[in-house]
Amino acid sequence: MRVLLSTIGTRGEVQPMVALATALRALGAEARLCVPPDFREWVEGLGFPVVPIGPALRGTASGHGFRPTPERLRELAEGTVVTQFATLPEAARGCDAVVAGGGLQFAARSVAEAAGVRYVHVSYCPVTLPSPHHAPPPLALQGRPLAPDTADRRALWAEDADHVNATFRKALDSGRAEVFGLPPVGDVRGHTLGDQPWLAADPVLGPWPGGDVLGTAGPPWQPGAWLLPDDTPLSPALEDFLAAGEPPVYFGFGSIRATPGLPEAMVGAARAVGRRALVSRGWAGLSLVDDAEDCFLVGDVNQRALFPRVAAVVHHGGAGTTTAAASAGAPQVVAPQMYDQHYWARRVHELGVGAAHPPAPPTAGSLAAALRHALHPDTAARARTVAATVRADGARRAAERLLAGTEGE
């Protein structure tokens, strides 16, 4: 039994697929991953074959205020679909199922259809799936803002479907016809989602609001978040820093672009609340503002080992970091910039496990205010309570369902 796991995105999209691959291997199945080249060395180091797809993504975190023109966006959209049709058929050769993760997997279902194998679409956040209970997530590159609570959500999702069709349908239909001789599709988003998408999000942190996924046959299946087991030790230098004082505040913004003055804001906020600062470089290559002993800079780090030992986690609101902090019982401050990050900020606030920073560039003052809320004893206690509810078996449940469904076909 062999499964192709395909995604295009940053660590937040790739790591859940690696978690599913690990669960599949534990059940005796084989997993092959199709991911951006940034992650090839890491994934192959875990023992999985990798087919790289598209250009490296790490450089996208540099610069400020980057917004492609509409023409450039169309070129990028067509290019990613063409690349998928050029890469995925060979990657899927010999596979019994294709699992496509994230919102950019437009060719994967066509590849599975042509091969006659099972297809599953997976999302990592409820608001990325169409529902009358929430609006589409904001897309900064398209200039789409957060929708007001009074908005007609069905109308917004219809507009979103029109946009997806206008952007991707021509390239998708071309690839289907030229590569496989398949007919055109009418609704790109519905085609991509399939009959029943999977929602790999924790049901307490990110519950499905109820009802069907618009354009599909029913609600999503929600096994829980796909968490990657990780026994990587923390570095000796980081261990020394942790042992040298009270738990620090962790600041990490992953692959997100850094706003001007972000390092100064992070360190200034930590000092304002009397805490040490642990700063992640991230893809933006952040650095410390001085050589003081109350700050420490880290690169890639095992969050599951680190987060139980920090006072709070300040981050951008990616699904993976939100879940890792919640499962560790660490209070959070979420400073969202785009897409599903606003949803996770709201959920952290609603659950009482931290603070949602306003959707504006963080300053030392704004981060300090949010940290004071997150570090309150009541918030810390609530974070520990919620941690006990976070599922740890989501990836295994998904692997079991995938194998059972495929073997039954």
Structural domains for the chain: 2-226+392-407 (3.40.50.2000), 236-387 (3.40.50.2000)
Helical H runs in 176-221?
A: 188-193
Residue 238 and residue 333 in contact, taking contact as beta carbons nearer than 8 Å: no
Task: Please write the tens of the pLDDT for every residue from 85-125.
Answer: 999 999 999 999 999 998 889 999 999 999 999 999 999 99
- Residue 220 confidence (pLDDT): 97
Q: Is the pLDDT of residue 73 over 80?
A: no
Q: Is the pLDDT of residue 256 over 90?
A: no
Q: Return the beta strands (E) in 36-79 as ranges.
A: 50-52
User: What is the rounded average pLDDT of the residues 350-375?
Assistant: 94
Q: Is the pLDDT of residue 61 over 50?
A: no
**Pairing state of beta strands 2-7 and 97-101?**
parallel
- Residue 139 confidence (pLDDT): 67
Q: Is the pLDDT of residue 67 over 60?
A: no
Confidence band for 339, pLDDT divided at 50, 70 and 90: confident
Mean pLDDT, the chain, whole residue set: 90
Task: Please write the tens of the pLDDT for every residue from 259-288.
Answer: 778 889 999 999 999 999 999 987 777 888
On the 0-12 / 13-18 / 19+ scale of CB atoms within 10 A, 309 is middle
Helical H runs in 67-209?
A: 70-91, 108-115, 153-175, 188-193
Backbone angles phi, psi at 87, to 5 degrees: -110, -45
Q: Is the pLDDT of residue 337 over 60?
A: yes
